Amino acid sequence: MAEIQIISKESHKTLANTTAKTASLSSSEPAVVLVKIPTTDISAVKRDGTNAVVLLKNGEMIVIQNFFSESASLDNSLVFQGENGQLIWARFKDAENDADADSDADADSDSDHEGAVYLEETPAAVPEVAQAPVSDVVFQPIQSVEPLLYHEGGLSPWLWAIPLAIGGIAAAAGGGGGNDNNNNTPPDTTPPNTSNVGFNINPVTADNVINIAESSSNITITGTLT
């Protein structure tokens, strides 16, 4: 039987690993359900009440209990993993909220096969689609389950990574400028030796005495270093 891994979207931790035919989700903890089975082995993926049901071509059935809710909107995601590691996200069309949902749902004009699955990016599975279309989901290849998980501030990883990258560049630029100035050498704070330095001041006035009248004007002091 296929291995099923349940990953918390909030903590990113694995909540359960099982090879049973039935797995159950918590209504209070959104999760990614990773079913390690190639899509070429799947006959259909359907919603049955609050359960997600995966029908295999060998006649077996995998049931994910509490994947949906009749009274609340649950943000659970179903992903399949092939033997080569390829990840396929099975997006349930009745849970779609974006503008592409309707076009995905109406993709198949055959009334007997409503909403055939799209697999243009997985050519090996395309021949199977015409014979056994999956009515309730749209398959979408993904590189990782990471974008399906929750992140700090509700941002996707590629969004919060941008300011971090910019900050890193700025820090590197600032640090580089500092290195050019001091080459990582501490500044010399030793005061110069002035024991042998003399300063001869020239007479300020004719009598070298500043009276009251002279003090109210600008006085320039000059001299020479020796």
Q: What percent of the chain has pLDDT over 70?
A: 51
The H or E element spanning position 49 is none
Summarize the confidence of residues 74-91 as an average pLDDT.
93
24, burial (CB in 10 Å: exposed 0-12, middle 13-18, buried 19+): middle
What spatial distance separates the first Cα and last Cα of the chain, rounded to whole Å? 97
Confidence (pLDDT) at 151: 85
Confidence (pLDDT) at 175: 52
Tokens of 37: 């089975």
pLDDT confidence bin for 124, thresholds 50/70/90: very low
Confidence (pLDDT) at 153: 55
On the CB side of 33, CA atoms within 13 Å amount to 30
In angstroms, the CA 77 to CA 24 distance is 13
Tokens of 57: 């071509």
Summarize the confidence of residues 14-22 as an average pLDDT.
96
The H or E element spanning position 130 is helix 126-131
On the CB side of 92, CA atoms within 13 Å amount to 19
Helix, strand or coil, per DSSP, at residue 26 = coil
In angstroms, the CA 106 to CA 165 distance is 41
Residue ranges per structural domain of the chain: 3-94+134-141
- Residue 101 sits at φ, ψ, to 5 deg, of -60, -45
Which of 12-26, 163-177, 204-218 has maximum average pLDDT? Answer: 12-26
- Residues 140-174: pLDDT tens digits? 999 999 999 998 755 444 334 444 444 554 444 45
Helix, strand or coil, per DSSP, at residue 40 = helix
Strand partners, 139: 90
Q: Is 207 a residue whose pLDDT tops 70?
A: no
pLDDT confidence bin for 93, thresholds 50/70/90: confident
